Structure 1
């Protein structure tokens, strides 16, 4: 009877009655209740958010924990995921478990503490179990995180953090665990805050009071900084270290650690270490050998601030101790190979200033002469005069432009020959995506095997789709219906149709009513792509297709005419009805840039409507592009497209939108095409007409540069490798992509730039002019652009990059000429000039650049002026002053 009473009380959610019943049971009686409790748990798991489930769960949580007489079983029950959101309070659990042996309670406490932090085991529970058992305090990530959150959330008690920490008996152990754990730091870092009542101040104060050992704290902070990790974590321990206010003796003892941190740590930590070392070196408390070793590594860090500070430090040390020149100047000369010519100039000036002190130090002179060969041409001439004629190799280097191999179209593999192969490819696509060829191959394989051996295909597909949420859903579930009515979700709609997880009426409505996913610039491309998938899914359920007509012959999406004719002939032999969307897509993909007369004749000879339509299409002029017009929307430069008559007429309605006018000022509503993976297929919707695709994604690329959106430029390399004219739309996309906020987007744009150049399709003058105009309008940030084109040039494409900058810089220098003071509008222009000078020097470019002389003749030694002078020297072959 006790078992039935317990289950009844649990089901009713009567926690107090449950604790009373458990108190009067023996261990054997409790174990006897477990099967019924597990059965109830399984029942409630089917509807976790229902009112009966929410009501019963806290009592079930407590009862199950108490009825497990093994520590492992009790801990597993307490921390179970399905109990996490509606569980018994720590007080109730401690009450029902409190009559157990201390060893048992300690075992449960440590098992719970070893659970992942995401298990969210209440700290009050593990702390209470530790207190009851008297066991050793756990130092796992979960328990330490809970301890920090417990201390940080006790503000309602009215005392301060330091007062709460003073009362903690295990304070040294928990703080030591903080330094050891990577996960704890990331989770509790936000608790540290600022101000006098922050954790930083509290820990520093307790260290000064002796509650925490000072040497242990300092060593732990430094060790954690040496260990590395996320920058946010490094800032936390750096802040704590500075709050400890190290003495000069403590700093001197750790000079080797500061050197390691200055060379390899995150920027904030390296800056702090460098400042500590600077003080030690200037006071003569660290050996010069250590400064030289440190310099050789710091000078090649990417942070210009650190590099400049290191050169300034070297200059101060050399001024204070001139005898250190033989030791330090070779280290300074290592900066001659730095990619930034300003760093080269600073290093060369430092060598020039102290070179006379190298008399008798032949080894140092030889090392400097050896490193001087790495200087840019301008500074190299000065180094030759300093070191003596013939010492430095100053002969011009013949430039050889390096561009990537021209990408070649490849033939996709034929459709998989077995149902198992189809399932494997589908599983890979669902897990990690794939390119156009992989997607089309899998889609064609699904269609073929659904027509030939549906049962074998279904059996093979189940493991591949096992994790799709709709697999176990009821067919009448409105969520499934809505999911596939709003979008086909790639291959998912075809798989759901095959497995009977979507209603035929839903597919029929999608084909007949043509769902429209938003009214945005991508609408035409997405409607055409989606229409074919909905059609394939519907035909699989009603009239299976033998194979697809529009499967590309080439990786770019093009379809060979003779292959399409052969497929139509096979359709006629099988007496199969082609899908309207599939045939429309085949027409748009068929190659029409050669002699189409033989294929047209063969198509006409088929005597089918599709044959006549293909013959007419192959003999028409093509492929044509609509007229375009440049328009501005705010500061942005965008393109409008005119109407294209040939994609109208006999095309299905979903495809006619591709030929309709594209306006800048319409179709500006919310865009539902958030899935960037879908966009890679858009270039294959209109192969041979990439300008039409580029014009429709131009707004996205503009947002990547202006609004700092991310992951927009992944389509650029695909467009660069695609077929068709590379015109105004593609070059504008490229211009925006080179100035995108996201570094990955900028790299995609660099890849596209180099591919277009390798294919001979880059219009450098057009791209340069676009970049100049976009910088003027504030759409392109010069610093981002400089980073992108510097990356492109570093691959060996110096002449290509110079050809772009040659048309961009005059526009920006003209604005500078009208602004006598060079205001903030030119911020970053010096970096562009630096890249241009580097490209001109390395490629041997010569000639005049409009407005450059005026910029070079300005007063001062700013980066803009110095790089303008350097570029003028490179272009005119003047001798360096």
Structure 2
């Protein structure tokens, strides 16, 4: 072994030499390294014959014992043949460890460390070695593991080591977690530094400390890896740490110093930063290149060369980047280095943005340029007119005043173009526009208001299930069943039907198409059915009967949360199907919906029960219970269907007839505990205070299976904070498709997570609420209010869609929704900016009158609050826009008191605007279109 750890002469005979003797690191029983003399330069070690088997077994024993530190010494005497034999046994051990359950996790982790080192030393090809070292189950998480691997690879030539290093660096996760190993191979082989995302990420973590600048200066990798870091889509976390520029770990400051010293090329750094900002991305990922660009400031020539880049940033980049680019272009404009055409292009892009600070700054910039160059009005004013359609009426007013100051100097055709754009102005500014443009304004300011709502959604029939094994398996593999209730129900019914028709073919297809290794393991289905996987496992006979029976009869504890109860209904059906699939007891599912909402046509359910009667089959309890919850009870076909069900003269027929004739809507009430003064009281957060009281239903409690009895009032009426993952949201609505108010009450606790916390996707059931049947009460109003006040923008959009769908169906209680929003905003649960964002989006769709009806109910309480509600001015702006456009009038309690105050805050300005709009005699006719 040479000084750098290289071993020469690997083969049937291996000679090593370090001075007079060779020493190797051998780990003791505790894994600590000790020094052992193996031989001397005068007495080469010869390996072969019967000793190989014993040496291989010693290696395997050390690996099994988890003594990774002993592996390099035990590998040293093995020749190529012995290592090949050892590799086969190591692979077998690796497969064995993969099958161990979680109870042996610590033991498996120790064994894997040994496998990681030993397997690398036994591989001969670079590709095979890289594959072994990059294995997800073996990857070394400790730096010392990489050191051990470098020891066992010490005999490989430079080209081989370079090949392995490059292969490992190309795999992001491997490079990130195996940096010491890859860096050691790069250093040893002298190959090019692998500039990959994973390697750069690991490098930044290794090098960031209080000596950052000094370490960067000394590291030969810096000129290669820094430019790559500036191009990465996701900036390494160490480069975005929130530390001040005076901190020794502040990367932008360190890089600026290296640029000043000439270690990094200044022009290249500037170019890379500009390119990265132009590509866009998350603000977090753009913060680093922007800070570097501010410190390594482009010179005058570089700023002028990149005018198109700066303009692109002002239009599309996140606000901080757009603001920086706007500053650069404003400087060029002040120097006279920005053409009028470029300024017009920039203005059009900036005025399309929603950030008021950027828009105001752009109008100021254009005003300064026009004051200096009046001849530019023809080209600049049409761009300024883009602000006539801005959501903020104060921005509209500033733009109109700017146009008014310079409109006299423009050409007639430009004046007409500006007059056409004035049609985008809010009604409050149209009198000023009429005074400015006169006859050129034309009919832009007249016309009756039309309320635009989405078409009333028509229930869509559910298509037939797959009729062949191939089609069913394809559907199971390609459709996102947990996210699509219709696809989930079709697949489940298809499984049941085809298992009766051709069980052997279905079993063969399932074994071929699905990874079934974990299904027989007892713990796999302990906490989840994994969707239809549990049914497939039942089909293959991989579920113990005792487990299946206990899960079918599982009773929810009285303290269970409501989303857990909804999921329990789904799981009960799946466990029942898993137990009965392929038998005569379940020929097909009674609960398969006939409409996309999850509802079942009552006449269809009667025919299904008739088929069961003719086949002399009793309905499966969970399947029939779900069918009863889904059957339409309010339509005109319910009465005749009840008579037909009774005529079947079966217990199931009589149950259905009774259900259709006597069962009204399932009942639930919602109330809230008083908000506490401190968080330890567990009454601070919204989801800690919701109490859902389900009405008692003796029929449900007596006749439904255990997993369904909570629908009849079996759960305690207490608030619950759920500490487990909320899954199957998309399938909840199909459990109760004809009891909208009841379903809304059940999903309120999960919706509250989207208001109080940062949960995403909590509003998924809201669209189904809009399309479902049943009465609308306080629970629906609260569900919509929670969605409107949600943290996630996508959830707020779902809530807006639900509001508009309910309005188009004539089912929206706008006053009830406004009342719930008022107290939620007043107590601080719903933030006014989220409310304004959601209602502005709804109004922009054309539903100004609907949004005003909501705000008309919500605003009196908020305007009359003892302490002004922070952010209320933004909500008043939406209200004023709605009133101006739909022509509503009247009085609003508390508005005059706010509007009469002095000041220039957003609240006072918008209060005055709303007050004036309500008093304006609009003379508009309100029509509603679908």
TM range (shorter): 0.7 to 0.9
> Cα distance 1:698–1:633, how it changes in 2: closer, same or farther (>3 A)?
farther
Alignment of 1:104-119 (within 5 A): 104-119=160-175
2:200 alignment partner in structure 1: 144
Q: Which of residues 748, 771, 778 in structure 2 aligns to 1:698?
A: 748
For residue 780 of structure 1, give the secondary structure of its aligned residue in structure 2.
coil
The CA deviation at 1:516 is: 4.2
Report the Cα offset of residue 279 of structure 1: 3.3
Q: Distance in 1 between matches of 2:467 and 2:558?
A: 35
Q: CA 1:717 to 1:164, structure 2 compared with 1: closer, same or farther past 3 Å? A: same
Task: Identify if the C-alpha distance between structure 1 residues 812 and 76 changes in structure 2 by more than 3 Å, giving closer, same or farther.
Answer: closer
Q: How far is the alpha carbon of 1:660 from its aligned partner?
A: 1.7
Q: Aligned partners of 2:122 and 2:528: how far apart in 1?
A: 49
Question: Please, which of 210, 213, 217 is the counterpart of residue 162 of structure 1?
Answer: 213
Provide the C-alpha distance between the structure 1 equivalents of 2:528 and 2:132, rounded to a whole number of angstroms: 41
Q: Hey, what's the Cα distance between the residues in 2 that align with 1:617 and 1:122?
A: 64
Does 209-218 or 9-18 show the bigger shift?
Answer: 9-18
Deviations 1:149-181, CA, capped at 9 Å, x for gaps: 3322xx4xxx71122122223432222232344
- Residue 117 (structure 2) pairs with residue 75 (structure 1): no
Question: How many residues end up aligned between the 2 structures?
Answer: 849
Query: What pairs up with 1:554-593 in 2 under 5 angstroms?
Result: 554-593=595-634
Q: CA deviation at 1:569?
A: 2.6
Of residues 821, 832, 837, the one that matches 2:880 is 837
Supply the distance in 2 between the matched residues of 1:524 and 1:226 (Cα, whole angstroms): 49
Deviation at 1:285, TM superposition (A): 4.6
Q: What residue in structure 2 maps to residue 122 of structure 1? A: 178
Matches within 5 A, 1:277-676: 277-319=329-371, 325-352=377-404, 354-355=405-406, 358-359=408-409, 361-362=411-412, 364-428=414-478, 431-464=480-513, 466-467=514-515, 470-471=518-519, 473-474=520-521, 477=522, 479-480=523-524, 483-484=525-526, 486-514=527-555, 516=557, 519-522=560-563, 524-540=565-581, 544-593=585-634, 594=636, 596=638, 598-620=640-662, 622-626=663-667, 628=669, 630-634=671-675, 640-660=693-713, 666=718, 668=720, 670=722, 672=724, 674-676=725-727
Tell me, yes or no, if the aligned pair for 1:259 and 1:273 is still in contact at 8 Å: yes
Q: Secondary structure at the match of 2:598?
A: coil
Q: Matched residues in 2 for 1:448 and 1:617: separation?
A: 27
CA distance in 1, matches of 2:851, 2:281: 36
Alpha-carbon displacement from aligned partner over 1:323-367 (angstroms, at most 9, x marks no partner): 655554343222112232221112122233x337x4475455344
Unaligned runs of 5+ in 1: none
**Distance between the aligned counterparts of 2:72 and 2:410, measured in 1?**
92
Please state how far the C-alpha of 1:523 moved relative to its aligned partner. 5.3
Aligned residues of 2:643 and 2:657 also touching (Cα < 8 A): yes
SS in structure 2 at match of 1:519: coil
Change (3 A) 1:36 1:638: closer
Output the CA distance in 2 between the equivalents of 1:86 and 1:768.
54
> How big is the shift at 1:753?
0.4
**Kept after mapping to 1: 8 A contact 2:843/2:851:** yes
Q: Residue 12 of structure 1 contacts residue 55 of structure 1 at CA under 8 Å; is this kept in 2?
A: no
SS state at 2:424 partner: coil
What is the root-mean-square deviation in Å for CA atoms of aligned residues?
A: 3.3
**1:711 aligns to 2:767 (yes or no):** no
1:202, CA displacement in angstroms?
1.8
> What TM-score results when the alignment is normalised by the length of structure 2?
0.83
Match of 1:802 in 2: 852
Contact 1:558/1:589 (<8 A) preserved: yes
1:379 is displaced (CA, Å) by 1.2
Specify which structure has the higher proportion of helix: 1
Asked if 2 retains the 8 angstrom alpha-carbon contact of 1:519 and 1:669, the reply is no
Do the aligned partners of residues 597 and 788 (structure 1) sit closer, same or farther apart at CA in structure 2, a change above 3 Å counting?
A: closer
Counterpart pick for 1:789 among 835, 839, 851: 839
Q: Which moved more, 1:728-737 or 1:393-402?
A: 393-402
- C-alpha distance in 1, partners of 2:442/2:318? 36
Cα deviation for residue 300 of structure 1 reads: 0.9
**Is residue 603–residue 637 contact of structure 2 (8 Å, CA) maintained in 1?**
no
Deviation (angstroms), 1:632: 4.4
Using the alignment, how far apart are the partners of 1:38 and 1:389 within structure 2? 91
Shift of residue 71, structure 1, vs aligned partner: 3.4
CA distance in 2 between partners of 1:164 and 1:627 (Å): 66
Give me the whole-angstrom Cα distance separating, in 2, the residues matched to 1:865 and 1:647: 55
**How far apart are 1:763 and its partner, in Å?**
1.8
Q: CA–CA distance in 1 between the matches of 2:60 and 2:761?
A: 50
Asked if structure 1 preserves the Cα contact closer than 8 Å seen for 2:553 and 2:705, the reply is no
How do 1:189-200 residues align onto structure 2 when only pairs under 5 Å count?
189-190=239-240, 193-194=243-244, 195-197=246-248, 198-200=250-252
Distance 1:686 1:82, change over 3 A: closer
Structure 1 residues 32, 208: closer, same or farther in 2, change over 3 A?
same
| Structure 2 equivalent of residue 175 of structure 1 | 226
CA distance in 2, matches of 1:304, 1:386: 25
Partner of 2:57: 8
Separation in 2, partners of 1:191, 1:852:
46
What is the distance in 2 between the residues matched to 1:23 and 1:684?
65
* CA 761–187 in structure 1, closer or farther in 2 if over 3 Å, else same: same
Superposed CA deviations along residues 671-704 of structure 1, whole A, max 9, x for unmatched, are: 65x3432x34333333322111111222333342
Q: SS of 1:555's equivalent?
A: coil
Deviation at 1:233, TM superposition (A): 1.8
Which moves more between the two structures, 518-527 or 758-767?
Answer: 518-527
Which position in structure 1 is the counterpart of 2:46? none
Question: 3-state DSSP class of the match of 1:400?
Answer: strand
What corresponds to 1:684 in structure 2?
A: 734
CA contact (8 A) 2:162 2:186 kept: yes
Counterpart residue number, 2:802: 752
Moved more, 590-599 or 628-637: 628-637
Q: For residues 695 and 115 of structure 2, what CA distance do their matches in structure 1 show?
A: 68
Deviations 1:304-328 (A, max 9, x none): 2211222233334445666655554
**Partners of 2:111 and 2:657 in 1: how far apart?**
72
| 2:15 alignment counterpart | none
Further displaced range: 517-526 or 36-45: 517-526
Secondary structure of the residue aligned to 1:401 is strand
The answer to whether the 8 A contact 1:258-1:277 is kept is: yes
Mean alpha-carbon deviation: is it higher for 254-263 or for 454-463?
A: 254-263
User: Which of these residues, 889, 900, 904, is aligned with residue 846 of structure 1?
Assistant: 889
Q: Tell me: CA distance 1:685–1:110, structure 2 relative to 1, closer, same or farther (3 Å).
A: closer
